[in-house]
């Protein structure tokens, strides 16, 4: 092959990847928080409204209970996400500092630990394992990250979402999507109907709005995760309907067992 026939292939290091990879855009952590908070909000509020409807609680009381539950649960979920994320980060940072100190003060011991992992877990030959240890230790930052992943199961990844941002996103998604069942419960405005008809209308609209909310959330999840959107939406909706049905039947059964006159 002559020099003129040699084709220079682009490399990733030069900023020209050989093919475009279709990675997910944005932060997967944010999507996880949104889906978790939104789904929990819809299902919890749907369960509350369904239970109230099954127990024949008045529309006004149902709305008051649902709003109070929505705000309290959203705050609890947001605060819980903040606390748990901060605790996880504090633990990872403490382990990183400890391992970094050990690498600096006891390098041979840390090398021996990685050598044992290569030979014991991955069945490398002693010569290959030693070569890998010597090679990776030349870059101490890489060695530290690699060792924490293999030895402790901790991945030192860069997360743009701070614990506070996670908590705010959780609170917002819970409130926004959790309001779907409450918006649907408009039987309070149907004063011209009898209480029984009013409850039926309110519960029906609540179920419709809850199903719409779960369908939208499932469609969004499917779009972002490159899954089948319709299947993802239907699975979410079925989950929501099952939760509402269980709550409604429970309220109906308990109200029959313990009528108001006996309380």
Q: What is the pLDDT along the chain (263 residues), one digit of tens a residue?
A: 444 443 444 444 444 555 445 544 446 778 889 888 988 898 888 888 877 877 777 777 888 888 999 999 999 999 999 999 999 999 988 999 998 998 889 989 989 999 999 998 999 999 999 999 999 998 988 888 988 888 888 887 777 788 999 999 999 999 999 998 888 776 555 555 666 676 677 778 888 888 888 888 888 878 777 778 888 888 888 887 888 788 778 877 877 787 764 44
Q: Looking at residue 3, what is its pLDDT? A: 43
**31-45: pLDDT as tens digits:** 889 888 988 898 888
Q: Looking at residue 172, what is its pLDDT? A: 95
DSSP letters, 118-182, are HHHTS---HHHHHHHHHHHHTSHHHHHHHHIIIII-------S--HHHHHHHHHHHHHHHHHHHH
Place of tokens 């990872």: 92
Helix (H, G, I), strand (E, B) or coil at 26: coil
pTM score of the predicted model? 0.74
Q: Looking at residue 255, what is its pLDDT? A: 75
Please state, as a whole number, how many other Cβ atoms lie within 10 Å of the Cβ of residue 49: 31
Buried b (16+ CB within 10 A) or exposed e, 63-85: beebeebbeebbeebbeebbeeb
d(C-alpha 236, C-alpha 36), whole Å: 12
Place of tokens 């932060």: 27
d(C-alpha 165, C-alpha 86), whole Å: 11
**132, 118 Cβ separation under 8 angstroms:** yes
d(C-alpha 166, C-alpha 89), whole Å: 13
Whats the size of the chain, residue-wise? Answer: 263
For residue 26, the number of C-alpha atoms closer than 13 Å in the C-beta half-sphere is 9
Those residues with Cβ within 8 angstroms of residue 95's Cβ, 6 or more apart along the chain or in another chain: 148, 152, 154
**216-237: pLDDT as tens digits:** 888 887 877 777 888 888 888 8
**61, 52 Cβ separation under 8 angstroms:** yes
């Amino acid at each position: 092959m002559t020099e003129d026939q040699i084709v220079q292939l682009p490399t990733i290091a030069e900023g020209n990847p050989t093919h475009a990879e279709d990675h997910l855009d944005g932060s997967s952590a944010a999507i996880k928080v949104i889906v978790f908070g939104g789904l929990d909000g819809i299902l919890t509020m749907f369960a509350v409204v369904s239970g109230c409807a099954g127990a024949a609680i008045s529309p006004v009381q149902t709305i008051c209970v649902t709003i109070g539950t929505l705000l309290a649960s959203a705050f609890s979920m947001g605060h819980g996400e903040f606390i748990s994320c901060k605790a996880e980060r504090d633990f990872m940072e403490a382990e990183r500092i400890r391992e970094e100190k050990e690498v600096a003060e006891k390098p041979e011991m840390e090398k021996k630990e990685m050598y044992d992992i290569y030979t014991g877990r991955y069945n490398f030959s002693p010569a290959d394992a030693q070569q890998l240890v010597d090679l990776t230790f030349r870059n101490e930052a890489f060695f530290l990250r690699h060792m924490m992943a293999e030895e402790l199961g901790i991945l030192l990844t860069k997360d743009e979402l701070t614990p506070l941002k996670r908590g705010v996103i959780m609170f917002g998604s819970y409130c926004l999507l959790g309001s779907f069942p409450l918006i649907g419960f408009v039987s309070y405005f149907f004063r011209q109907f009898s209480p029984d008809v009013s409850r039926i209308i309110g519960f029906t609209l609540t179920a419709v709005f809850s199903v719409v909310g779960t369908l939208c959330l499932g469609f969004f999840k499917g779009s972002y995760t490159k899954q089948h959107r319709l299947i993802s939406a239907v699975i979410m909706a079925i989950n929501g309907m099952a939760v509402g049905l269980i709550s409604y039947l429970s309220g109906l059964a308990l109200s029959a067992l313990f009528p108001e006159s006996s309380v």
